Structure 1
Amino acid sequence: MDNSQLRAKNPVRAIHNSQFTIHNSQSSSSSPVYGLPSIICWLLILAFALFFSALAVQQHRAFQTNGLDLGNVDQALWNTAQGRFLNFTLMAPIQSRLALHVEPILLLLVPLYWFNLGSPETLLIIQAAVVALGAWPLYQLAIINNQRSMVNGHLSAGYSLLAVIFPLAYLLLPTLESAVLFDFHAVTLSATFLLFAFLALEQKKDGRFLVFALLAMACKEDMPLVVAMLGVYAGLAQRRWRLAALAIGLSAAWFSVAFFLIQPRFAAGGNIQLDRYAWLGDNPPAMLWTLFSRPDMVFNHLWQQANLPDYLIRLFFPTAFLALFSPLTLLPMLPTLAVNLLSDNPFTWRLEDFHYGAPLAPFLFISAIYGIQRINEWANQRMANGRMVNKHSPIRSFAILLHCLLLVFSIIYHHYRGFTPLARPFAWPEVTTHHQRLAALLATLPADAPVFTQSNLAPHLTQRPIIYGDFAYFTDPHFPAPAKAEEIVLDVTSFENSGGLHQFLRRELLESGHYQLVSTEDWCHRICSRPIRQAQ
């Protein structure tokens, strides 16, 4: 059956025809997956993992990490290892990580804390390493597409080196890099699991697909929506409706349990994530009704407040907008786009500096791979007119041009928005004498003492049962503290004296007679309740 006959029978499948048949005409020993391109890919993975692990750890040692969320994840895991399941106090009155997010993937890290291997630095290193590994399935997808083209006579094995452009551009993506550097978030890990899941889907390895789909869903309560869209993709593009139904069914079940049962169970007053969408309505049905009944209000929010045009330009620019030529593979981006852009939290509207864009990265570059393939197919039909394409064909030069175009756009965007020495401005975090003195001061605190501290000090003190970080602890007489803070540690050089906060704390703490200043050095203060406990 030729292409025209296939296109007449199934136009949706015909659009992606060459994407869904794995060619095995070459043995694994001769496949470029095992040659020089794969070595280059693994070197890129290693370089990313080492560099961003070191950079993230250096940020932590320079007190540039935060209680939200590195600190509260570390405390929740440490408490779990001590028998207090996902308990944390850094965001009191919230007492469980499950009130914020449902992330079963975190439980895989608990054994590290059993053997005293878990720490904020460990979490940062794991995050960088897992994200780096996502380049491997992306590279394999690119190789598969090049192999298909080679079977059709379009590309020779020498052009398999072009496949390395995709993992390189992926690892240069500022959206991904900022997620790695912004504390620790389980959802950042989902990018790699989603890439492996998509690769398994394309290879018709259903068991492997389900494993990685489950891992992705375990990263955050809204990830089942992304996996459900992978199921939709499997149905529309591959006509594998049974697998599609299974993926959608599992996703719907887990999303319902996580979002409507688990989170409200641990959050007083219901699911606290819904607060970001209160402008749409008081409850999920009301929010859905507003989405469909008030398109003017939704459009105004997306276009003016979330600045949708700018967001989309910055999203697709690193792929030279080639991802737009593969609309079906963009489908799994829709849930994350909706979660981010319909929120009233301006942080979620930003692709860099935070972690909210991480789940978009896999499908952005998957779509770039298939977008280039579709453009090549179109060019072949227009330029080759059915003739055999030789090595000097303009089709081949056009394919190289598209790959290079993507790389150039990726490097340009990285230069202005990225987080490596290739970008501007870049500065390696400096651990100053002040930071060293501050670390020494923190080491003097008793290991089990309830502590109050500020956000950037919190991740250095979270391996204890009780730690507070909300200044309402001092200003609200009804603050629900399970125990009194015996130690207060503040670095007045790194938190703003907003509204005379410094003077207020001095008056409330020292002049009240309940606390006394134990030590102060380089504007770092240790304030203890009476009587003073000594570190063991």
Structure 2
Amino acid sequence: MPATAPRATTRTPYLLATALFLSYACWSVQRHRQLRTSGYDLGIFEQAVRGYAGLGAPVSTIKAPGFNLLGDHFHPILAVLAPFYRLAPSPITLLIAQAALIAASSIPITRLATRLAGRLAGVSAGLAYGLSWGLQSAIDFDFHEVAFAVPLLAFGLTALLERRFAAAAAWTLPLITVKEDLPATVAVIGLLVALRGRRRLGAAMILVAVGAGLLIVGVLLPALNPGHVYAYAGSTAPDGQNPLQRLFLPAVKLRTLLELAAPTLFLSLRSPLLLAAVPTLAWRFWSTNPSYWGTGFQYSAVLMPIVFVAFLDALPTIGTGRPARTACVAALAATILIPAPIRGLPDHWRVSPRAQQAKLALTRIPDGAHVAADNRLAPQLTARRTVYLFPAYPQPDVRPEWVAVTTPPDTSMAALVTMTAALDRLPAYGYREALRTNDVIIFHRQ
């Protein structure tokens, strides 16, 4: 028995990660099967990965005809998914990859908590992290490139906490290829490395991160963008508002901060590692886009590994042994009490007959065809067809052979009046109704 106990403890992080992966994957795939995914963003990212898989550029026609997605956000790391997509060309490949990446990020956190306070603490901390609202929100909303950042941060920050500085640098420097805002996070981690004694390595990380960030935002993104600008610069421009008010008001921003710290019983606030969350929070709260301020979508996923590793860093301040174990169990309880999107999993196993009928109707559109589809139907078509977003298309100079829309009209990306007007224009563009069901209308251009 004593000989097997260490082995069981060693397996625990991987068993927990496997359970999280299965839960994440089942949830994501079922959402897609029930037509609850969207062109913005699953369809867009599938088109990008499909471009890489074809040894081409990550072009997304959902954004615009010929639009290179590297001119929108800088995420060349998506090319890693290309071999998997060639084997299984489907949006489900992206959803499963995201589930695997985020689940894997629980391994170093569970392992470190186990080393600090025992197996019960490890399981509790790993579950609290895996069930945290930031990760659940990401899983519940399509696929995003930040899925790569989550394990890189988890492995990198735990390595930093264990004073494995070279490993910390090796894990965190690839964040530069995930999204253009993450070089700032790498720079802060470099500062933490320097403050913990490896000044040269930390300084090198800061220089690389700052240089890469300036190159990406100032040169690469504008060069690849059709308008030759960084598309999101406008939301960060000064507006004459008091800087403190702009950063912390309206109150939804303070609520986000509260919900970030609450799952860790506010112990994460004791750790300097929490500084790594500052760049992400700063650009989100400074932006004029309200979508960035709250707890929805994928924006908080990168904050979860930072907050929970900071929590583990602060555990010794309350004592070892029983106090630390109690804190980890309490963190799990606090995580469960905070509202999160993944609830009632058994309710989502059965695909509704209406979703099945809609998917069957879409088979009327042949493989290889060009089709304008609304936001709800687009990701059901992107694997085998060239998809544009309805109602932006068709236009006089871009008229796909087919148009597919839901009925009643999907208004997630356009107002009802806009959708109705676009439908009314279809006969003038040469489209005739080819198929109508209770949920889908398909038009074909003669």
TM-score where L is the length of structure 1: 0.77
Determine if the alignment matches structure 1 residue 209 to structure 2 residue 168.
Answer: yes
- For structure 1, the residue ranges without an aligned partner over 5 or more in a row are 1-28, 147-158, 282-293, 377-394, 531-536
C-alpha displacement of 1:30: 7.5
Match for residue 123 of structure 1 among 94, 103, 106: 94
Distance in 2 between the 1:435 and 1:89 partners? 25
The residue that corresponds to 1:514 in the other structure is: 430
The residue that corresponds to 1:354 in the other structure is: 297
C-alpha displacement of 1:506: 4.1
Distance in 2 between the 1:498 and 1:194 partners? 39
Match for residue 504 of structure 1 among 411, 418, 421: 421
The residue that corresponds to 1:65 in the other structure is: 37
**1:172–1:418 contact (8 Å) kept in structure 2:** no
Distance in 2 between the 1:507 and 1:118 partners? 34
Match for residue 273 of structure 2 among 329, 354, 358: 329
SS at match of 2:443: strand
Distance in 1 between the 2:416 and 2:110 partners? 53
The residue that corresponds to 1:98 in the other structure is: 70
With 127-136 and 432-441 compared, the bigger mean Cα shift is at: 432-441
**2:149–2:302 contact (8 Å) kept in structure 1:** yes
Cα 1:70–1:513 change in 2 (3 A) is: closer
The residue that corresponds to 2:245 in the other structure is: 300
Determine if the alignment matches structure 1 residue 527 to structure 2 residue 443.
Answer: yes
**2:236–2:288 contact (8 Å) kept in structure 1:** yes
The residue that corresponds to 1:385 in the other structure is: none
- For structure 2, the residue ranges without an aligned partner over 5 or more in a row are none
The residue that corresponds to 1:433 in the other structure is: 353
Matched AA of 2:342:
F
C-alpha displacement of 1:397: 4.1
SS at match of 2:74: coil
Distance in 1 between the 2:358 and 2:294 partners? 32
**1:88–1:466 contact (8 Å) kept in structure 2:** no
After TM superposition, the structure 1 = structure 2 runs for residues 440-455 of structure 1, keeping only pairs within 5 Å, are: 440-455=360-375
**2:89–2:383 contact (8 Å) kept in structure 1:** no
Match for residue 84 of structure 1 among 43, 49, 56: 56
Determine if the alignment matches structure 1 residue 107 to structure 2 residue 50.
Answer: no
Distance in 2 between the 1:218 and 1:178 partners? 23
Distance in 1 between the 2:205 and 2:177 partners? 14
With 173-182 and 396-405 compared, the bigger mean Cα shift is at: 396-405
Q: How many residues align?
A: 442
The residue that corresponds to 1:273 in the other structure is: 232
Distance in 2 between the 1:420 and 1:43 partners? 22
Matched AA of 2:403:
I
Distance in 1 between the 2:219 and 2:384 partners? 29
Q: Deviations over 1:177-226 (max 9, x none)?
A: 11122111111221111111123334444443333223322211111111
After TM superposition, the structure 1 = structure 2 runs for residues 429-508 of structure 1, keeping only pairs within 5 Å, are: 430-463=350-383, 466-473=386-393, 483-493=398-408, 495-496=410-411, 498-501=415-418, 503-508=420-425
Determine if the alignment matches structure 1 residue 311 to structure 2 residue 270.
Answer: no
Distance in 2 between the 1:260 and 1:523 partners? 45
Matched AA of 1:257:
L
Cα 1:94–1:307 change in 2 (3 A) is: farther
C-alpha displacement of 1:313: 1.1
The residue that corresponds to 1:285 in the other structure is: none
Quote the RMSD (CA, aligned, Å). Answer: 2.5
Cα 1:513–1:78 change in 2 (3 A) is: closer
Identity %: 28
**2:264–2:308 contact (8 Å) kept in structure 1:** yes
C-alpha displacement of 1:399: 3.4
**2:144–2:298 contact (8 Å) kept in structure 1:** yes
After TM superposition, the structure 1 = structure 2 runs for residues 173-252 of structure 1, keeping only pairs within 5 Å, are: 173-236=132-195, 238-252=196-210
Matched AA of 2:366:
P
Cα 1:515–1:319 change in 2 (3 A) is: same
Cα 1:508–1:340 change in 2 (3 A) is: same
Distance in 2 between the 1:235 and 1:203 partners? 14
C-alpha displacement of 1:421: 3.6
**2:120–2:325 contact (8 Å) kept in structure 1:** no
| Greater C-alpha Rg | 1
Distance in 2 between the 1:137 and 1:396 partners? 20
C-alpha displacement of 1:122: 0.7
C-alpha displacement of 1:433: 1.6
C-alpha displacement of 1:429: 6.3
**2:405–2:440 contact (8 Å) kept in structure 1:** yes
The residue that corresponds to 1:388 in the other structure is: none
**1:37–1:164 contact (8 Å) kept in structure 2:** no
Match for residue 419 of structure 1 among 338, 342, 351: 342
**2:358–2:439 contact (8 Å) kept in structure 1:** no
**1:67–1:459 contact (8 Å) kept in structure 2:** yes
